[in-house]
A and B are shown apart, each in its own frame.
Chain A
Amino acid sequence: MRRLSWTTWVYLAAIVATAAAAAAIVARPPSASSGSWWAIYAVLALLFLICDSTPIPLASRHSAWSPSSAATLAAVVLLGSVGAAMVGAAAVVTARRRVPLPERLFNGAIFAMAGYAAGLAYRAAGGHAHPPMPGFHAVLTASAVRIPSSAVFAPLIKPFAVAAVVHVLVNHVLLWGMLRADRRPGRAGHPGPGTSVALLLASDLGFAALGLVIAALWAVIGPFAAAIVLVPLFVARWAMAQFAEQQRAHAATLATLCQAVETKDFYTRGHSERVSRGAGMIAAEIGMRPDRAEAVRFAGMLHDVGKLGVPTKVLQKDGPLTEEEFAAIQLHPMRGLEIVRDIGFLAEALTGIMHHHERMDGRGYPMGFAGDEIPEFARVIAVADAFDSMTSTRSYREARSIGEAVTELRNGAGSQFDPRMVDAFISALGRDGWQVQEPARPSGHEILTSHDHDDPTAPLRVAESL
């Protein structure tokens, strides 16, 4: 288990204690503690455990998602709030591996509390009380018998919807509290790439509806109801896992191919990766939407891919460049655009790649845009790009310190960089830190370049004035 901060421990202990106290107060042995009550509980708890033990890994490393709420909400209808709390508490014995005891207790506590709250909401919204309505139990015990004419379930839809919303909300709020408590300097609290909270909430609500379906099916096909819903659940799980896997594969492939392009120039190794990270830091700081933040990270990754179109001898040339050679360098954003133009999801990112060398005063390239004419993505990337170039070692100079580079960024704010992006980057830097390039020495086989077009402190020298 990763180290937890003391605030996390306090929060965790408070949640578990609340749940335990509540259990001591409200828990009476179920009055209808017939065999069938316990039989239904056993099946639903098993369903819960199966769902909970096979979570879907999400793109960010520490989060996973499981449709176990369907079992809790089925229990709300079939067993009442105490039963739902007990189903949720089964999370303590989850078969997921490497879950330490405190985390098990915490999970059990929040699922139990969410289940109990859902049960209360269900009754408050007009759902039937427990012990169940007359005649209902007979149906449950003799599973082969059908409900003769049941308009019983239709009026349950509204209370069930309320219960589902309450369950999802309580669950997410308690989890969110955990994330807040765990947030420390140097560790960004925002979710990882591609994890959209709205999407998770929607998925939770969608699968929560399955709870009512289970309860309804139970009247017809008995415990088999729990088994049959597992099929679509597992198919959905498969597709989600495939999505996460493909997303990781995509990111890995993109990063690797960008690195391959960098092999052309020893000194810029890791540049794309770091610019991508820097762009992500700025995006998070200025509160960009998650999908746009992801696009700007990809744009940062790909911003220099067009450099491969610049002849090596131009990159290696020592001394002033001819106009022709300078033009070749100025063309690289266009070349990059040419390469990535067909990647569909990058629509906005393309503008970032195309214009990352524009300057706020209009003296940049390729278009000479100024101020707000420059797309937002390009203004983000320009800052991260220049900062990484300055803090990396070059053949013609040593790496600058982070402090010096920050000063240079401040000096350039307004003329070269967007001051808002510079401020955002500097404050993100204070929180998350920056991993500078390893001061490696070339072994002699690599290509060494003698200037860096990204370096604002050493502008390219052109032999004849333009």
Chain B
Amino acid sequence: MTARTAEQRWLAWHSIDTGRLLLVGATAVLMLVALARTAATGVSDPYVAIAFGLFVAFGALLRLMLPGGREATPIAMSAALAYAMVLRIAAPGRALAASPPLQVVAVAAVGMLLGTLPHVAAGRRPGVSAMCARLLAVAFVALVFRPIAADPAVTGHWVLACAVMAGLAAIGWLIETVITAVIRADDLRARYSVMLADEMRVQWRLGLAVGVCAIITVFGAEVMGIAELIVFAGPLLVIQLAFRRYGGIRATYLQTVRALARVTEVGGYVEPGHSGRVARLAIAVGRELGMSEPDLLDLEYAALMHDIGQISLIEPIPGGATAPLDASDARRIADFGAEVIRRTGVLDTAAELVRCQWMSARGGPQQPPLGSRVIRVVNAFDDLLAGSADRDRVAAALDRLRLDPGAQYDPGVVAALATVVGRRPVSRL
């Protein structure tokens, strides 16, 4: 068994490396070709290139964090897509023509790299794979749209041009989303289909705004020229700010729940670190079972607060474990905890998961929700380990859960737990 686990781990690392390597390699080759070509033929309309390049760099500098640890650079993306799709740019004297597609790729790449440099200098992650996904999307749009744009039949009327742009921007967004989902699925060891759905759910609104803003920029540049970029920066910044604040408050909310879930630890009701460990392991198990991101968030809240009902006890239970409690006490504590959580008025799903956590997985009058079953198994597992990460102890705990004389644990959840802890040591989850 040990040998197989090691092999699995090796395979896992191997596949991560291959996927990432392929993506970064392909993007690097494309970038080098674009740069070489642009250097060979000379930059056409350098002022336009510099203006768009600076705008892309500005947007990459202002990258924002979306829920789930995703990063997005909406301003950089709209600028790059607009540069890829621009038709004519009004200028004093003459209308400027569009730049060749490889120049678009080169400008976008340089802009993204420039904007990312300060982040790297400040010691933050560069987000290389996300940048590659974005650049590939831009390259696709530029390489497909440029030949089409040369045909006056398509771009002669704005309705047709607009439709073609919208379609290409949508496909570009899809490319970026699929690549990001594949990379994330590798990182988080989740199912591709679930990751893709999660990714689309989180990103579609911003993607829509980015695409439409790019189209607005294209048409606006026809009338206002390159100065339009400055004017349009205003609304783009407001949109960006709105998303930044949203991402920020989401993160704060999670931090608050994480912190306050620890009142039970400080009060001596449960072992230090218990709620955090249960939450981390529950998310890994839930992901293994193919739960979607909103469900995982509810699961995380519920797992963090699953013991909050214990503060209704006057004195902590010696040892702090819920496992040896008799069923009626466990039920009373779970009900009290759920009642506390429900009073927030916003965490009803998490409250329900906490309420149902004492129920038997099999043969009970009511099948508890999947999240409750996960919490039950993971909680028991953490109690059985009692703080040890010893391999034998883990195996013994898993055997005990599989044996399950009281039909309390969901065998599917136990199997998922075994896969998760087999993949990485418990201490490193």
Contacts and interface: CB of A to CB of B under 8 A. Distances in A.
Given A221-B162, A250-B256, A309-B266, A263 B312 contact: yes
Given A261-B311, A339-B262, A344 B242 contact: no
A80 interface: no
Nearest to B209: A235
A264 B264 CA distance: 12
Contacts of B208: 231, 235
A254 B260 contact: yes
B230 A207 contact: no
B235 interface: yes
Interface string B238-272: 11011101100111110111111011001110000
Interface in B76-107: 90-95
B238 A153 contact: no
B138 to A, nearest CB: 19
B35 interface: no
Interface in A378-411: none
Given A144-B158, A238-B205, A246-B253, A207 B234 contact: yes
Contact of A220 (B158, B255, B262, B344): B158
B360 to A, nearest CB: 27
Contact of A239 (B95, B242, B344): B242
A306 B266 contact: yes
Interface in B193-218: 205-206, 208-209, 212-213, 215-216
Given A153-B90, A213-B220, A246-B253, A206 B237 contact: yes
A16 B341 CA distance: 48
A263 B213 CA distance: 52
B255 A344 contact: yes
A256 B249 contact: no
B232 A213 contact: yes
A150 B90 contact: yes
A338 to B, nearest CB: 6
A150 to B, nearest CB: 5
Interface string A247-277: 1111011101101110110000000000000
Given A213-B231, A257-B263, A261-B263, A249 B242 contact: no
Contact of B222 (A144, A220, A261): A220
Nearest to A233: B235
Contact of B234 (A205, A216, A260, A341): A205
Nearest to B257: A253
Contact of B157 (A144, A199, A256, A335): A144
A210 B235 CA distance: 6
B117 to A, nearest CB: 25
B303 to A, nearest CB: 15
Contact of A217 (B205, B216, B246, B340): B216
B25 to A, nearest CB: 34
Nearest to A336: B266
Contacts of A228: 212, 215-216
Nearest to B221: A216
B27 to A, nearest CB: 28
A243 interface: yes
Contacts, number: 208
A209 B234 contact: yes
A459 B82 CA distance: 70
A417 B308 CA distance: 35
A217 B256 contact: no
A305 B263 contact: yes
Interface in A204-246: 205-210, 212-213, 216-217, 219-221, 224, 228-229, 231-232, 235-236, 238-240, 242-243, 246
A248 B345 CA distance: 10
A212 B223 CA distance: 11
A342 B234 contact: no
Interface string A145-175: 0110111111001001000000000000000
A308 B267 contact: yes
Nearest to A208: B234
B225 interface: yes
Given A149-B90, A228-B216, A338-B266, A243 B239 contact: no
B381 interface: no
B212 A209 contact: no
Contact of B311 (A149, A240, A263): A263
A249 B253 contact: yes
A5 B250 CA distance: 39
A446 B160 CA distance: 72
Interface string B408-428: 000000000000000000000
B215, B235, B315, B340: most-surrounded residue (chain A CB, <10 A)? B235
Interface string B313-342: 011000000000000000000000000110
Contacts of A340: 259-260
A246 B235 contact: no
A312 interface: yes
B188 interface: no
Contacts of B230: 157
Nearest to B242: A239
Nearest to A312: B314
Contacts of A10: none
Contact of B158 (A160, A221, A264): A221
B228 interface: yes
Nearest to A239: B242
**For the complex of A and B, 7 pairs with smallest distance between CB atoms:** A209-B234, A206-B238, A239-B242, A235-B209, A249-B346, A308-B267, A206-B234
Given A149-B94, A306-B266, A340-B259, 15 more contacts: A144-B157, A202-B241, A212-B224, A235-B209, A246-B253, A249-B253, A250-B252, A257-B260, A257-B263, A260-B263, A264-B311, A309-B267, A312-B315, A342-B255, A344-B251
